[in-house]
């Protein structure tokens, strides 16, 4: 399947099984991230912006204190595509990444940081 081909509702549901915090809403996939405050919100927006620009696929973001909403769909396809799903997975990985305890020399932040 081409990345720009609109996915069927069944295909979207299958993809969302691997992205349980994401939901289908008004023809787009949507995810709300909670943060521990404004600085973390801005860091998350910048991280999302970085991976989206590198992918040349750009989500809509709604930004407020302690919250970032991400909305993905492909305008040219008129709905959700494989590209949206792939970028959603990358955003999820980036937003929720933490050093693995016992397997990393990095200690990780003691802050709440980004959660679902």
Instruction: Check residue 1 and give its pLDDT.
Output: 53
- On whether residue 25 sits in a domain, the answer given is yes
Instruction: Check residue 106 and give its pLDDT.
Output: 87
- On whether residue 49 sits in a domain, the answer given is yes
* DSSP 3-state of 82: helix
CA distance 73 to 79: 5
* Ranges in the chain, pLDDT < 50: none
Query: Does pTM surpass 0.95?
Result: no
Residue where the block lists tokens 């720009």: 4
- On whether residue 103 sits in a domain, the answer given is no
- On whether residue 1 sits in a domain, the answer given is no
Element (H, E) at 68: strand 67-72
- Contact (CB, 8 A) for 25 and 93: no
* DSSP 3-state of 66: coil
- On whether residue 3 sits in a domain, the answer given is no
Among 39, 44, 80, residue whose Cα is nearest residue 62 = 44
Range of the domain at 20: 15-97+109-115
Q: What is the CATH number of the domain that holds 56?
A: 3.30.1360.20
**44 CB burial (10 A radius; 0-12, 13-18, 19+):** buried
Query: How many domains does the chain contain in total?
Result: 1
- On whether residue 7 sits in a domain, the answer given is no
Instruction: Check residue 112 and give its pLDDT.
Output: 79
> Taking the alpha carbons of 116, 88, 14, 8 in that order, is the dihedral positive or negative?
positive
């Amino acid at each position: 399947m081409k990345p720009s081909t609109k996915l069927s509702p069944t295909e979207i549901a299958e993809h969302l099984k691997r992205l349980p915090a994401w939901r289908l809403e008004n023809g787009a996939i949507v995810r709300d991230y909670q943060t521990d405050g404004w600085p973390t919100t801005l860091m998350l927006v910048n991280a999302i912006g970085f991976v989206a620009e590198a992918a040349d696929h750009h989500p809509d973001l709604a930004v407020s204190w302690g919250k970032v909403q991400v909305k993905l769909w492909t305008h040219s396809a008129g709905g959700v595509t494989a590209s949206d799903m792939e970028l959603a997975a990358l955003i999820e990985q980036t937003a929720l990444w933490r050093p693995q305890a016992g397997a990393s020399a990095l200690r990780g932040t003691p802050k709440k940081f980004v959660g679902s």
